[in-house]
Structure 1
Amino acid sequence: MASTLLSRQLTYVLQQNLKFSLPRSRYVSQPANKTDVDVEFDGPLMKTEVPGPKSRELMKKLNELQNQESTTVLWIQSLMQARPGYNHPALVKLLQNPQNVSSFINRPALGCLPPENYVQKLSETLLSIAPKGLKQVQTMSCGSCSNENAFKAACIWYRNKERGNAIHTKEELESCMINQAPGSPDITILSFMGGFHGRTFGCLTATHSKAVHKLDIPAFDWPTAPFPTLKYPLEEFVSENAQEEARCLEEVEDLIVKFRKKGRNVAAIIVEPIQSEGGDNHASDDFFQKLRNIAKKHGCAFLCDEVQTGGGSTGKFWAHEHWGLDDPADIVTFSKKLLSGGYFYKDELRPDMPYRIFNTWLGDPSKNLMFSEVLNVIRREKLLDNVNESGKVLLQGLKDLQVLYPHILSKARGKGTFCSIDAPNDAIRNTLVLKMRNKGIVLGGCGEKSIRFRPALIFKPHHAHLFLNVFSDVLAAHK
């Protein structure tokens, strides 16, 4: 029933700007059997290019108020947050419930005055999907502040470990106020080239995906290790890829030792399960298992950034679950698809005093209320199973297309529906993304030349077939 209602609402919203017709050609595969399709259209046919005249006028007015030069189109909802699809009836019902009105009107200062039911709500939502071995959660408002405070938690933990049972000295308390050691210690966070962990001041030092993010901003002198550059198809380059991963792991250890000799110990290693902004770069489970062991060997906190990969798109709720770690990550950060931000962490990384990890809001209970219903939908509609089924169709279709168009596409890769493929260069990539947008399908660019696919969890095999047919049309017409 929910799926039928969703179908009708999706159709209504999309028909405000789109007309629908059957795709003209079937290059990759036939559409899935109609009996398992819950949508009432066969694919979009745009009335105008995107952005259309109305959107361009609105964007012009908005740009007069604030810098909006990065805006592509005024869309109906954030793509990265549309986990159960747009206007899901369960979420509409939640917002229409009079009992929930106060949660959306009154935003409590969670740092000081959380609501009385907050313990219950956190237990039913975030803690119910906590990564293995992590029983503590700290809520935040966004991905950047989640990583910023995870860095702080790791540094506090590391310094307390160095002190042993000693308390903070008078010298430490005084010197930190003028940004000097020992109160402001010269410890570091190791990150990877190509990684993205946010655009706030501290996170920028660990972000290495695009120069435009970092230009003109002072940065800390922290170690940056190479991330493996794998060759595809993976099964044809097993030996070469193993050597590449071994090289990168050796460099990680060398950097930790090198910085230690300079008196600048590495307090934490941060890594994404899939480097998203940096180009959807993958590494093997073995690489991450060995990286975790290196962190443990050298006494560094192992910080897994799941801001983009968490929430189910890889076929597991947490992408790092694919690794099969014996010893779980020390900290796992999240945001975007979980609606609010924050991080899970091991008991020993709990702050030793109040106000050390703190801000006024620490998230928003209304977002947690919505996330509760998102979780209900994921479980009730078995959406993780759907992601795995649809992901197989999508990835195989991309592999078929790169065989048909080897001069345009290469390196199809992904887990679940968290997929990507490479174009020859950024100019061709951007052209393909634009052409697909004008066909009514929003794709994204990442890295130097990659196209990334981020469908909602309700994306079914039939939708994958529809997409592949439209994409094939665009590729066939590409000059």
Structure 2
Amino acid sequence: LISLYDIVCPLHGFHKWMSFLSFFQSTLVNRPALGILPPENFPDKLTESLLSMSPSGMTRVQTMACGSCSNENAFKAMFIWYRNKERGHNTPSEEDLSSCMVNQAPGCPDLSILSFMGAFHGRTMGCLATTHSKAIHKLDVPSFDWPIAPFPRLQYPLEEFSRENAQEEARCLEEVEDLIVKWRQKGKPVAGIVIEPIQAEGGDNHASPDFFKSLRNIARKHGCAFHVDEVQTGGGATGKMWAHEHWGMDDPADIVSFSKKLLTGGYYHRDELQADKPYRIFNTWMGDPSKNLILAEVLNVIRRENLLEEVTRSGKALLNGLYDLQAQYPGMLSRARGQGTFCAIDICDDATRNSILLKARDKGVLLGGCGDRSIRFRPSLVFKEYHVHIFLNIFNEVLAQHK
């Protein structure tokens, strides 16, 4: 079995876990309620795990259990920060306190978060309002009147469409600014912008570093927090620990959320987005400290085995192989794209895509779909170049059945 769908597994089948198990067992005896009574050594364990891989400019992290609750609480942090900024202090009035109890302003202000078409940020209420990838995720659930901007639809090969893609990104950025102004005029100011470095569930949609740099500047210009959702992309699959590192920015975000390959959920944030009072960002468990122990060992393996360099090499081989297959099957395959092993390719239609997924599975290869007609490739970090060639041979056999 060859799995190229290890979205949540950084080191699938890694052979050195046994030495870790005896140390890990004692942690499983009791799961502490981190929101109330965290273990005495919890700060040290955070330093060894999550804080050892902090994104640029961030020294604070808030643990959570999953991607949805990570983003949901990150949204709350942005709203709290925005209201304190409006007040000029962090002390709510009596009217704030009384009105929020009946879901009314000013205690429950009519603020908004700007998101992008094709985005996926989770399935809780706030996250669903910013999710626009599949209708079934949102059907029958009430939502908020929040702005939705277009995400660039790039043409491939990139080098042949540089002018058209630059125009497309400029169009989307202009729409972002227009929406921020429009929602402010509606009395629903945008407190934050949330975006994925690569829209995964929405179809593995990419944008250029210049697009994200400009978007960051727009957020600053209009006083919005900038939230980079790395739930799908964080953890090394792009060849860097954080996909936003490819943008080449010293100050890429105000909040960076994570989960999946990082084994625990949560978000990093700048100092000014720290909750100002107890219980504002809170739940009983606030994550699971055992996952931080596992993550610390995963990070040791990544560094010791130079796995990010391995991902870069394997990713180059994978993408080049997809380019070759795309040239071999031009009526079936298009838009091969990726960073590291975080790759995808479009199929001519949804039915053919689904048939390819099933036939690949029958041959022992696990793949996943995304968007309307894309196949996404998500191997673990120990996926090597020889694994790439084994996969490409099998994939070619499957494609040949659909000519």
TM norm structure 1: 0.83
DSSP-derived class of the 1:178 partner = coil
Aligned partners of 1:233, 1:89: CA distance in 2, in Å? 39
**Structure 2 residue 317 is matched with structure 1 residue 317:** no
Map of 2:8 onto structure 1: 81
Aligned partner (choices 237, 251, 257) of residue 161 of structure 2: 237
Deviation at 1:102, TM superposition (A): 2.6
Deviation at 1:263, TM superposition (A): 1.2
Aligned partners of 1:319, 1:257: CA distance in 2, in Å? 29
Is the CA contact (8 Å cut-off) linking 1:231 and 1:241 kept in structure 2? Answer: yes
**Structure 2 residue 148 is matched with structure 1 residue 224:** yes
- Cα offsets for 1:305-330 (capped at 9, x unmatched): 00000000000000000001242300
Map of 2:34 onto structure 1: 110
Map of 2:19 onto structure 1: 93
Aligned partners of 1:313, 1:338: CA distance in 2, in Å? 11
- Cα offsets for 1:318-353 (capped at 9, x unmatched): 000000124230000000001000000000000110
Aligned partners of 1:100, 1:385: CA distance in 2, in Å? 28
- Cα offsets for 1:377-419 (capped at 9, x unmatched): 1011000000000000000000010000001100000000000
Greater shift in the superposed pair: 323-332 or 376-385:
323-332
Deviation at 1:430, TM superposition (A): 0.5
DSSP-derived class of the 1:80 partner = coil
DSSP-derived class of the 2:281 partner = coil
**Structure 2 residue 73 is matched with structure 1 residue 149:** yes
- Cα offsets for 1:160-179 (capped at 9, x unmatched): 00000362000010000100
Aligned partners of 2:229, 2:372: CA distance in 1, in Å? 21
- Give 2:171's aligned amino acid: R
DSSP-derived class of the 2:279 partner = coil
Aligned partner (choices 289, 293, 308) of residue 384 of structure 1: 308
**Structure 2 residue 178 is matched with structure 1 residue 260:** no
Aligned partner (choices 198, 206, 230) of residue 306 of structure 1: 230
DSSP-derived class of the 1:89 partner = coil
Map of 1:454 onto structure 2: 378
Deviation at 1:474, TM superposition (A): 1.0
Aligned partner (choices 374, 379, 398) of residue 474 of structure 1: 398
DSSP-derived class of the 1:203 partner = helix
Aligned partners of 2:90, 2:265: CA distance in 1, in Å? 33
- Give 2:220's aligned amino acid: K
- Give 1:473's aligned amino acid: E
Runs of at least 4 residues of structure 1 off by over 3 A? none
Is the CA contact (8 Å cut-off) linking 1:192 and 1:226 kept in structure 2? Answer: yes
Aligned partner (choices 135, 150, 155) of residue 59 of structure 2: 135
Structure 1, gaps ≥5 residues long: 1-13, 15-43, 45-74
Aligned partner (choices 348, 367, 372) of residue 424 of structure 1: 348
Deviation at 1:294, TM superposition (A): 0.2
Aligned partners of 1:93, 1:198: CA distance in 2, in Å? 35
Matched residues, percent identical? 67
**Pairing of 1:45-444 with structure 2 (within 5 A):** 79-86=6-13, 88-95=14-21, 97=22, 99-165=23-89, 167-444=91-368
DSSP-derived class of the 1:139 partner = strand
User: Looking at both structures, which has the greater relative contact order when contacts are Cα pairs under 8 Å and sequence separation is at least 6?
Assistant: 2
TM norm structure 2: 0.98
Aligned partners of 1:427, 1:121: CA distance in 2, in Å? 47
Q: Alignment length, in residue pairs?
A: 403
- Cα offsets for 1:216-256 (capped at 9, x unmatched): 00000000000000000110001000000000000000000
Greater shift in the superposed pair: 364-373 or 99-108:
99-108
Aligned partners of 1:147, 1:236: CA distance in 2, in Å? 36
DSSP-derived class of the 1:384 partner = helix
- Cα offsets for 1:178-231 (capped at 9, x unmatched): 000000000000000000000111100000000000000000000000000000
Q: What's the RMSD between the two structures over aligned residues?
A: 1.3
Aligned partners of 2:298, 2:119: CA distance in 1, in Å? 28
Map of 1:20 onto structure 2: none
Is the CA contact (8 Å cut-off) linking 1:90 and 1:373 kept in structure 2? Answer: no
Deviation at 1:124, TM superposition (A): 0.8
- Give 1:344's aligned amino acid: Y
Aligned partners of 1:84, 1:213: CA distance in 2, in Å? 29
Is the CA contact (8 Å cut-off) linking 2:244 and 2:252 kept in structure 1? Answer: no
Is the CA contact (8 Å cut-off) linking 1:271 and 1:303 kept in structure 2? Answer: yes
DSSP-derived class of the 2:252 partner = coil
Is the CA contact (8 Å cut-off) linking 1:91 and 1:374 kept in structure 2? Answer: no
DSSP-derived class of the 2:83 partner = helix
Is the CA contact (8 Å cut-off) linking 1:303 and 1:331 kept in structure 2? Answer: yes
Deviation at 1:149, TM superposition (A): 0.1
- Cα offsets for 1:404-452 (capped at 9, x unmatched): 0001100000000000000011111111111111110100000000000
Is the CA contact (8 Å cut-off) linking 1:91 and 1:370 kept in structure 2? Answer: no
Is the CA contact (8 Å cut-off) linking 2:6 and 2:12 kept in structure 1? Answer: no
DSSP-derived class of the 2:365 partner = coil
DSSP-derived class of the 1:152 partner = helix
Map of 1:66 onto structure 2: none
Aligned partners of 2:246, 2:310: CA distance in 1, in Å? 17
Is the CA contact (8 Å cut-off) linking 2:359 and 2:398 kept in structure 1? Answer: yes
Structure 2, gaps ≥5 residues long: none
Is the CA contact (8 Å cut-off) linking 1:390 and 1:416 kept in structure 2? Answer: yes
